[in-house]
């Protein structure tokens, strides 16, 4: 069997409530038969604190990059960039440069052990999901989209890989 990466938002009074709500929603959306590759396959979570100035999507991207940092080493693959038109090539190189900066920022923020832990939780299809609380405008936007604007509920982003 394989694995699929997922990310899903959950809202609740606390992280536990948000996890169970989001997990139940994933089960209804993708089935209860197992091997869905979603949060429905997870039975626990690990909470990561969101550093000041970070968005939850930055933490998720850092986890993705930390799993295979060698992808960013060296020059961009000329075979890949040769087939792109000029606009796509510029976007690709800009994204690659931004990813390198984000990975360096994550390493400075979390340290090697913390970044390894983030990558391990992200990649473990049998282990717990990662969780990070969304705050500020990011959380307000999610609450508004889920008709929970003005509530005192907390918003969490759950992420990782799950068996499929």
Q: From first to last of its 164 residues, what are the pLDDT tens digits of the chain?
A: 689 999 999 999 999 999 999 999 999 999 888 899 999 999 999 999 999 999 999 999 999 999 988 877 777 777 777 788 899 989 988 999 999 999 999 999 999 999 999 999 999 999 999 999 999 999 999 999 988 888 899 999 999 999 99
Residue 4, classed as helix, strand or coil, is: strand
CA distances for 109 relative to 18, 64, 80, 120, 132, angstroms: 26, 16, 32, 17, 15
- Return the domain boundaries, the chain: 3-163
- Give pTM, 2 decimals: 0.90
Token couple for 10: 């959950």
Residue 84: what pLDDT? 83
Scan for tokens 């920022």, then name that residue: 105
Dist CA 135 CA 121 (whole Å)? 22
Residue 1: what pLDDT? 67
Q: How many CB atoms lie within 10 A of CB 88?
A: 11
Residue 124, classed as helix, strand or coil, is: coil
Token couple for 137: 């405008």
Residue 78: what pLDDT? 76
């Amino acid at each position: 069997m394989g694995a699929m990466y997922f990310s899903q938002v959950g809202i609740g009074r606390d992280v536990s409530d948000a996890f169970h709500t989001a997990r139940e929603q994933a089960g209804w959306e993708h089935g209860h038969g197992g091997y869905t590759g979603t949060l429905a396959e997870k039975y626990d979570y690990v909470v990561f604190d969101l550093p000041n100035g970070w968005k939850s999507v930055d933490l998720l991207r850092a986890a993705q990059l930390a799993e295979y940092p060698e992808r960013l080493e060296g020059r961009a693959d000329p075979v890949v960039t040769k087939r792109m038109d000029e606009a796509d090539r510029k976007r690709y190189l800009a994204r690659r440069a931004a990813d390198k900066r984000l990975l360096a920022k994550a390493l400075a923020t979390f340290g090697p052990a913390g970044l390894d832990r983030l990558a391990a939780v992200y990649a473990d299809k049998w282990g717990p999901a990662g969780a990070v609380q969304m705050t500020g405008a990011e959380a307000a936007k999610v609450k508004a989209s889920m008709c929970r604007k003005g509530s005192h509920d907390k918003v969490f982003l759950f992420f990782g890989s799950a068996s499929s």
